[in-house]
Amino acid sequence: MSSGSSVEKGESLKDTVLTLSAHRPDAIVIRTPWAGSAELVAGWTDAAIVNAGDGKHEHPTQALLDVYTLRQRLGDINGAKIWIVGDVLHSRVARSNILAFQKMGALVTVCGPPTLIPRGIEAMGCDIRYSLTDLPDADVIYALRMQHERMDQAWIPSLREYASVYQINGRRLLPRQVLMHPGPVNRGVELSGEVVDSPQAAILAQVQAGVVVRMAVLYEVLAGARAPQPAPEPQLA
């Protein structure tokens, strides 16, 4: 909810939501750069709110579709070792997936440059690694997108070095491992081209799952939760 919208013209988030709500929508899907926005606006409207990403906080539908994809691949996630690799600090996908994967019984490890692993993340129950040495232990490798602007702010010395240390490539990806990524991929940075195109990659399956899972979310908030009310019998005039 930003480009070309009234938020861009200086309208407050509250006024935007009040204005949209005046149209009596059943649901509002909101994506903002600010943590907690979805919960905040839920207090200003009767519409169901779907969080499509709030800042670096959470991206719940991504986590749902990732769980869906993994269950299709592995059958069961319980006990699976899942490594989330890359810029965890700035990733809402990472935060939602740590919660979702753990809820499904998986063991989550986060791995990335020490500057991009948030202090205190172990309180979420995950392990922390700063190198890929133990990556062969993983059943699933979930690579995060490395954004170029992180280099400008000196979070990492260079993308080249990042790739040499953290890139998932043909040498590092084992045949039995599943490779995931939220997209869009920076080929040659967090993933080498050959692994993106490998059979281990579930990246396109994630995209497909995105459609059905988000359809299900919308069905749930639009119809599912309100279903109990039976439709009135048509009255003949």
Partner 1 sequence: MNLIDPLVRAPAPAAEILIRHAHVLDPREGLDGPHDVLVRGGVIARIAEPGTLEPPDGTETVHASGRRLFPAFVDPHVHLRTPGQEHKEDLESGTRAAAAGGFCAVVAMPNTSPVTDSTPILRSLRDAAARDARIPVGFMPAITVGMNGTELTEMAELRAQGALGFTDDGKPVVSAGMLRKALQYQRLCGGVLALHEEDPTLSSAGAMHEGAISALLGIAGIPSISESTLVARDCAIAGYEGGRVHMQHLSAIESVQAVAAAKAAGIQVTCEASPHHLTLTHEAVRTMDTRMKMNPPLRTEEDRQALIAGLKDGTIDCIATDHAPHARDEKEVPFEQAPMGTTGLETAFASVFTDLVLPGVLSLELVVEKLTVGGSLLDLPLPRIAVGEPANLTLVDTDQVWQVGEHGYESRSANCSFAGRRLRGRVLMTLAAGSVAYRERAFSVTAVPTPERTA
Closest listed residue to residue 132, CA positions, set 62, 84, 68: 84
Task: Report, in Å, the least distance between residue 56 CB and partner 1.
Answer: 3
Candidate ranges 63-71, 121-129, 177-185, 188-196; the one touching partner 1 (CB under 8 A): 121-129
Of 7, 42, 104, 124, the one binding partner 1 by CB under 8 A: 124
Say how far apart CA 124 and CA 109 lie, in whole Å. 11
Q: How far is the CB of 230 from partner 1 (least distance, A)?
A: 37
Nearer to partner 1, 35 or 159 (CB): 35
**According to CB under 8 A, which one of 28, 47, 48, 56 is a site residue for partner 1?**
56
Q: Which residues in the 90-119 window bind partner 1 by CB under 8 A?
A: 90-92, 95, 118-119
Q: Does 145 participate in binding partner 1 (rule CB under 8 A)?
A: no
User: At closest approach, how far in Å is the CB of 40 from partner 1?
Assistant: 6
> Quick one: tokens of 164?
């040499």
3-state secondary structure of 149: helix
Q: Which is nearer to partner 1, 120 or 175 (CB)?
A: 120
- Least distance to partner 1, CB of residue 197, Å: 31
Burial of 18: CB neighbours in 10 Å, binned 0-12, 13-18, 19+: middle
Reduced to 3 states, what is the DSSP secondary structure of residue 60?
helix
For 160, the token pair is 């080249």
Alpha carbon distance 163, 169 (integer Å): 9
